[in-house]
Amino acid sequence: MEEQYSLRQLFPELEEELYKEIEQHGEIREMPAGTVLLKKGQTIRYTMLILKGIVKLYQEDDEGNEFFMYDIEPGEACAISMVCTYRQENSQVLAKAMTDVSVLIIPLEYMDEWLGKYKSWHYFVIRTWRARYEDLLHTVNAIAFKKMDERLEHYIKERVRTMGRHIKLTHQEIAADLNSSREVISRLMKKMEKDGWIIIHRNAFEWIR
C-alpha cells in the first residue's frame, strides 16, 4: 500500500489502469549509494522510475573518465533507458546512485504497448526527454558561459535542495562533477566558508547561509 501510494504521489498524471499495470509488472529495487545502475555498453532491458534518492548520469570516455551530465530525482525517469529499451541499443552513459535509492524497474516489453495504449505514458515520455534536454542545455551553457565560482555556487545550492544542508561530498568528487581540479574547488569552497556560506568538514560540508 505504501509503495502504491508513493507511485501515485510521485507520478500523479497517469491513468488508473496504467498504475495497476505498473504495480503488476514493475519491480522495486533498493540500492545503496555508490551502486552503478547502468554501465556504458550495457544492453538495456528495462526503464527506471526513481522513487527515492538521487541518481547521477555521467558520460564516460574510453579511459574511464567521467563527465557529469545531470541528476535524476524522485518522480522522474531515466530518459536514456527509455530510448535504449525502445530501440534496443546499448547504453552510452553511466548511471550511479548518489544516495541510497529506490528504483522501479519496468521491463522492455511493456514500453511500446504503453506508448500506444496510454496517452499519459506517451506524454510522460515526452516530458522526460524535454526535461533531460533542458538539463543538458544548462550544463553546456554553464561550461561555456559561467565562471567556475558561479557553477560551484549553483552546484552546491542544487545539492542542498536535493540532499539537505549537510552534504557528504569530497572536494575531489565535486571537482569531477564540475570538470575542474580539486585544488580549484578547495580554494573556492574555502572562500565560500570565509564569506559565511558553508562550514567545511572532513569529506563533507554544511550549508549555513
Query: Are residues 39 and 67 both part of a single domain?
Result: yes
Dihedral sign computed on CA atoms, order 12, 2, 38, 47: negative
Same domain? 83 vs 154: no
Segments forming the whole domain that contains residue 50: 2-144
Q: Do 86 and 31 have their domain in common?
A: yes
pLDDT score recorded for residue 88: 61
Share of the chain above pLDDT 90, in %: 61
Same domain, 47 and 76: yes
pLDDT tens for 85-140 read 555 667 778 899 999 999 999 988 888 789 889 999 999 999 999 998 898 888 88
**Co-location of 35 and 63 in the same domain:** yes
pLDDT higher than threshold 90 for residue 201: yes
Residue range 24-28: average pLDDT? Answer: 93
Average pLDDT over residues 12-34: 93
User: What's the number of domains the chain is made of?
Assistant: 2
Q: Is the pLDDT of residue 200 over 90?
A: yes
| Same domain (yes/no): 156, 132 | no
Same domain? For 23 and 121 the reply is: yes
User: Would you state the pLDDT for residue 60?
Assistant: 76
- pLDDT recorded at residue 5: 57
Reported as a pLDDT band with limits 50, 70 and 90, residue 59 is: confident
CATH code for the domain of 74: 2.60.120.10
Q: For residue range 166-180, what is the model confidence (pLDDT) as tens digits?
A: 999 999 999 988 989
One domain for residues 140 and 164: no
Please give the Cα distance from 112 to 105 (Å, whole number): 16
Kindly report the number of other CB atoms within 10 A of residue 52's CB atom.
Answer: 15
Mean pLDDT of the region 11-25: 93
Residue 4 confidence (pLDDT): 57
Do 131 and 46 reside in the same domain of the chain? Answer: yes
Q: What is the mean pLDDT of residues 43-63?
A: 87
pLDDT in tens, 147-164: 999 999 999 998 998 889
